[in-house]
Structure formats: C-alpha cells, structure tokens
C-alpha cells in the first residue's frame, strides 16, 4: 500500500519510526515523504535524512526547505582562499534567509557529520523528484510539496516550475485537476482556520496533510489506498 506524510521538520526520528510501525508499514509498502523533512526542530531532521539514504521503499519528494539547504550547500565545501573570495552577497543573503527560516538546526547537525555523509545526503537531495504520480485504491494521485501555483488545467504537471511546486500557498477554494487528486503539505491545515487543527483537509481535487509538525504538533500518516489516517 502507498503511504504519504509531509513536513516532518525535525520531528524526532524514533517517533516517526513508531508511527510507521503503528500503521504496519512493511517492506511491501511504499512511503512518499512530501518534502520538508528538515529544519526548525531538534537535529533538523538530519537523522531522518541519513536513514533515507538506505531505504528502498521510501522516497522523499523535494520541499522548499530541502531546496534552501541545497542552495546553502556551499557551507559544506572545503574553505579555500578562492571560496572565501566567491562568498558573494547573494550566498550570504541566501544563508541568512535559510537561517531565519529554521535552517540552523539542520546546518549544525550536518556539520557534525563526516564529509562523505554530508555529500551523500546532498547528492540524495539533488536527485529527489519535485513530484510523483501514483495510483492507489483505484484513484490517481499527484504527490507534490506545496500544491500547484498558477494552476492551469491545460498545463500538465511537468509544465510547472520548481518555484510553483515548492512555494504554493493554495486557497481553500482552489480547484485543481479533476481526474487526479493532488496531495501536498507545506501549508499547515490549521492556518486555514482553527477548525482545521489536526485535521487533514480534503477537497474534491486536492488534499493537504501538513499538520504543523514544524510547530510542535503531531504529523499524520495517510494511506492512499483506503484514506486511513494514522497518528501517534
Ligand atoms: Mn514547505
């Protein structure tokens, strides 16, 4: 069966594994993490990233926070005279924006890793897809981090820019593709109103599963085959 979870944002790795166990997630199942494993809490999700490197039935879809980490990956390069000269205003600006957006926890935890491990994680993120399409329980799904900004029913999923897939902030009234359900995180459901606290939002054309784990709440694991929700 196919499971999705999103926006763990440094949610404790052991708790995350506990949640998978609670759902009986096994080797014949597949899990898609819809981005933003990193930043904000604890070790910034670095333990989960290390674990991801060795999973054959779990795939991370890139989130805007992983994209920011990649944009700041120059901090893991060896420091040379030349690299100091190349530390231009744009890079410094990127790093300070990432830090303001919760990146410190991740950068600190990454700094503690061996160079090989850092590079393996960065390579994994560089290869992470921006979206996936899957079928489960007789329905088709698009899995993406933030939704589909500048939605146009005539435009196919591959026509969206990374910006549109990573930084969308959908309105409740937004309608996406009619023949496929778009599943995403990024916008905590409670930001649509207190009545959505700890609730998955399901419309006819999209589903938001971001429970706000980045802000100390419990994530939800959703099984697409039967829409069953698992929480600790
Ligand atoms: Mn996000």
pTM: 0.96
Element (H, E) at 184: strand 181-184
CA–centroid distance, 212 to ligand 1, in Å, is 10
CA–centroid distance, 138 to ligand 1, in Å, is 28
Residue 73 backbone dihedrals phi, psi, to 5 degrees = -65, -15
Pairing label, strands 139-144, 131-136 = antiparallel
CA–centroid distance, 183 to ligand 1, in Å, is 13
Give residue 46's pLDDT band: very low, low, confident or very high (50, 70, 90): very high
CA–centroid distance, 185 to ligand 1, in Å, is 7
Res 88: pLDDT: 84
Res 199: pLDDT: 98
Which residue range forms the structural domain that includes residue 56? 2-230
pLDDT digits (tens, 9 = 90+) for 147-190: 999 999 999 999 999 999 999 999 999 999 999 999 999 999 99
CB 72, CB 103: distance < 8 Å: yes
pLDDT digits (tens, 9 = 90+) for 78-119: 888 887 877 788 899 999 999 999 999 999 999 999 999 999
Q: How many domains does the chain have?
A: 1
End-to-end CA distance of the chain: 20
CA–centroid distance, 150 to ligand 1, in Å, is 17
Q: Which residue, 230, 167, 215, is CA-closest to 8? A: 215
Residue 28, Cβ density class (10 Å: 0-12 exposed, 13-18 middle, ≥19 buried): exposed
Res 93: pLDDT: 94
CA–centroid distance, 62 to ligand 1, in Å, is 9
CA–centroid distance, 26 to ligand 1, in Å, is 27
CATH number for 134: 3.60.21.10
CA–centroid distance, 32 to ligand 1, in Å, is 15
Average confidence score pLDDT of the chain: 96
CA–centroid distance, 63 to ligand 1, in Å, is 5
């Amino acid at each position: 069966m196919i499971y999705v979870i999103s926006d763990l944002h440094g949610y404790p790795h052991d708790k995350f594994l506990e949640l998978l166990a609670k759902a009986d997630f096994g080797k014949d199942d597949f899990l898609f993490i819809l981005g933003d494993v990193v930043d904000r809490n604890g070790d910034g999700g670095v333990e989960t990233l290390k674990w991801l490197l060795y999973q054959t039935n779990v795939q991370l879809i890139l989130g805007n926070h992983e994209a920011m980490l990649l944009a700041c990956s120059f901090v893991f390069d060896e420091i040379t005279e030349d690299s100091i000269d190349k530390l231009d205003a744009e890079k410094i600006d990127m790093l300070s924006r990432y830090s303001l957006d919760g990146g410190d926890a991740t950068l600190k935890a990454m700094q503690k890793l061996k160079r090989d491990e850092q590079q393996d994680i960065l390579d994994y993120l560089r290869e992470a897809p921006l979206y996936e399409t899957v079928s489960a329980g007789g329905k088709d799904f698009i899995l993406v981090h933030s939704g589909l900004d500048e939605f146009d029913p005539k435009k196919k999923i591959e026509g969206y820019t990374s910006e549109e897939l990573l930084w969308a902030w959908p309105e409740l009234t937004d309608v996406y593709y009619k023949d496929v359900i778009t599943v995403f995180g990024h916008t905590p459901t409670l930001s649509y109103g207190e009545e959505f606290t700890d609730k998955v939002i399901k419309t006819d054309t999209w589903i938001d599963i971001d429970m706000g784990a980045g802000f100390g709440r419990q994530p939800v694991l959703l099984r697409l085959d039967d829409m069953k929700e698992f929480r600790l």
